[in-house]
A and B are shown apart, each in its own frame.
Chain A
Amino acid sequence: MRKGEIIIRDVGVCFRLYREKVTTLKEAVVHRFRHLRSAENFWALRHVNVSITPGEAIALVGHNGSGKSTLLKTIAGVLQPREGEVLSAGRISPMIELGAGFDPELSGRDNVYLNGALLGFSRKQMEAKFDGIVAFSELGDFIDMPIKNYSSGMYARLGFAIAQDVEPDILIVDEVLAVGDERFQEKCKARILDFRSAGVTFCFVSHNLEAARSLCPRAAVLHHGRLAFDGPIEQAWEKYRELERGPMPGPQINVAAS
């Protein structure tokens, strides 16, 4: 595999839904582990096949609960597929949520190093990046204040500043561009375009056609965990609109054979 390539091969992600939530041993024993048998399988994704070549940009669209975020999390390696496999090569920078892993008690400075380590960077590498991150975040002297004193905009700015500086081969973005003021949003978009021209693979979840079209020529439409369409973004959008107008049967739950 080449760096930046993603192959999603017949992926199924299954959540077990329990009619009765059992979290204690006593309940489990009293009900003689019935909850294990009565569990129902909910396939958030099933039989999804997508191949993404290095440097390609793809938007994932679909209504709420169609499995977009599940697919992103599976690509990022946070969720393991029950069926099929997700293969990817290269460093993945997940912007699934900005500032995931920030500790509110620690200063911005400490959090930069902590977040860097979470993404697999050594202290030395982060020291080299530190000034650039602070400059991008425009936090100035606030960098040495505890994060809990930050405004939500400052929080997101620091999160994006870290995420944009990790030299990814694959960039995964889950509608995080709606952070900060307009000027900062423009800055984020410009940075993502930089990545695009540098040949970084880009996966983007959005409900906003304008944002998606300006970044991605290709789109995959998910509908109830199935891949409904994969191709040029204009046609994908039509398909998405059409599905949206159609009946909404709600998520399907398949009762597991016990």
Chain B
Amino acid sequence: MKAMELASPAPAALATESPKRPSPLRELWSFRQLIALLVVRELKVRYKRSVLGLLWTMLNPLLLMVVYTVVFSTIWRSSFRNFSLFLLSALLPWLFFNTAVLQGLFAVISNQELIRKVRLPQAVFPLSVVGSNLVNFALSLVPLFLVMAALDQPFTPALLFLPVAMFILTVFTSGVTLFFATATVFFRDVRHLVEVMLQMVMYLSPVFYDLRTLGEPTTWWFPLFKTCLQLNPLTYMFSLIRDPVYYGRLPELSTVVIACSAAVFSLVVGFFFFQRLSPRHIHYL
């Protein structure tokens, strides 16, 4: 066996003309319609045989909000005006991020049948998960606006910033989703790690509170907590949405710049890792 290997020709030099392989980004772009179809498939399959169908997407946050409003206005009294709206303006983007990352963990694994048989950029699977959750997120804005109207919250022009905010958050979420999707292929227990981490991140993110309203600055843990929040990219992401919805103003320029940088960084790192590791996925599925 060994002798045979030695006798065989050495690997051919790469000098001869190779046809240009498409760059990963261009290849992904040529499959954009597949991503759209996968999003449609996910929505169709998810709401199959359910009477209310897509309405659930809107009912879900509404019901959640009723629960939180009751809890926070009776049991744990909050000094916030329209606390439920304050909460919802960060809870909706959080749910989007959280669900996309969690579902994305299995995006590659659950499509292994296809990956074994058809050549395609595997990033379409995690990205379509982000896409279908983005649709849900966008639909959940309808009940959000209903609540705003019911609570006499002013509709300001700052709300026009929302699509930009959602775009930035989507870019950020895509990077994180891609990163953990490829990690799960190699170690299945990434899932449990991520589940716990997401819980921690939720409490370390300004969902139930706000940087400005955070406890007594004199307590020992305050500076630590504040640093945590300032380092957490989600703090800036949520500001992009909470500022227009709850405070009726545009987010500060510095917030936008930090959020954009975090989003680009996340996508570049996530996509790079995914792209580098995806040829090896097939051996671990």
A contact residues vs B (CB 8 Å cutoff): 1, 9-10, 15-16, 23-26, 28, 46-47, 49, 73, 76-80, 83-85, 87-89, 92, 94, 96-97, 100-101, 103, 105-106, 110, 113-114, 117-120, 122-123, 226, 252, 254
Contact with A along B163-190 (1 / 0, CB 8 A): 0000000000000000000000001111
B18 touches A47 (CB 8 A): no
B17 touches A94 (CB 8 A): no
Chain B residues with CB under 8 A of A16: 283
A10 touches B11 (CB 8 A): yes
B33 touches A28 (CB 8 A): no
Q: Which of A16, A83, A120 counts the most B-chain CB atoms under 10 A from its CB?
A: A120
B41 interfacial by beta-carbon distance below 8 Å: yes
Question: Which of B19, B31, B48, B113 is close to A1, meaning CB atoms less than 8 Å apart?
Answer: B19
User: With A and B bound together, what is the CA distance between A212 and B279 in angstroms?
Assistant: 32
B276 interfacial by beta-carbon distance below 8 Å: no
B117 touches A103 (CB 8 A): no
Shortest distance from the beta carbon of A131 to any chain B beta carbon, whole Å: 19
B18 touches A117 (CB 8 A): no
A24 touches B188 (CB 8 A): yes
Chain A residues with CB under 8 A of B5: 46-47
User: With A and B bound together, what is the CA distance between A70 and B186 in angstroms?
Assistant: 22
Given contacts A23-B188, A84-B12, contact A110 B117 (CB under 8 A): no
B44 touches A94 (CB 8 A): no
B197 interfacial by beta-carbon distance below 8 Å: no
Pull 5 A–B residue pairs with CB atoms less than 8 Å apart, ordered by A: A24-B187, A77-B119, A78-B115, A85-B18, A114-B34
Shortest distance from the beta carbon of B30 to any chain A beta carbon, whole Å: 6
User: With A and B bound together, what is the CA distance between A89 and B151 in angstroms?
Assistant: 62
Chain A residues with CB under 8 A of B41: 103, 106, 110, 114
Chain B residues with CB under 8 A of A25: 187, 189-190, 193
Q: Which of A1, A9, A96 counts the most B-chain CB atoms under 10 A from its CB?
A: A9
Contact with A along B39-79 (1 / 0, CB 8 A): 00100110010000000000000000000000000000000
A78 touches B119 (CB 8 A): yes
Shortest distance from the beta carbon of A45 to any chain B beta carbon, whole Å: 12
For A16, the closest partner residue in chain B by CB is: B283
A118 touches B33 (CB 8 A): no
A100 touches B19 (CB 8 A): no
For A98, the closest partner residue in chain B by CB is: B117
Given contacts A80-B279, A89-B19, A110-B44, contact A101 B9 (CB under 8 A): no
Shortest distance from the beta carbon of A244 to any chain B beta carbon, whole Å: 20
B17-45 at interface with A (beta carbon < 8 Å): 17-19, 30-31, 33-34, 37-38, 41, 44-45
Contact with A along B209-220 (1 / 0, CB 8 A): 000000000000
Given contacts A83-B11, A87-B19, contact A92 B119 (CB under 8 A): yes
User: With A and B bound together, what is the CA distance between A123 and B8 in angstroms?
Assistant: 47
User: With A and B bound together, what is the CA distance between A49 and B120 in angstroms?
Assistant: 25
For B280, the closest partner residue in chain A by CB is: A80
B18 touches A105 (CB 8 A): no
Chain B residues with CB under 8 A of A226: 4
B257 interfacial by beta-carbon distance below 8 Å: no
User: With A and B bound together, what is the CA distance between A47 and B12 in angstroms?
Assistant: 10
User: With A and B bound together, what is the CA distance between A120 and B30 in angstroms?
Assistant: 7
In order of increasing CB-CB distance, the 9 nearest A-B pairs are A77-B119, A100-B117, A117-B34, A47-B8, A24-B189, A80-B279, A25-B187, A9-B12, A101-B114
Seed contacts A28-B187, A77-B119, A226-B4; 14 additional CB < 8 Å A-B pairs: A10-B8, A10-B12, A23-B188, A24-B189, A25-B193, A46-B5, A78-B282, A85-B12, A85-B14, A92-B119, A96-B117, A106-B44, A114-B41, A118-B120
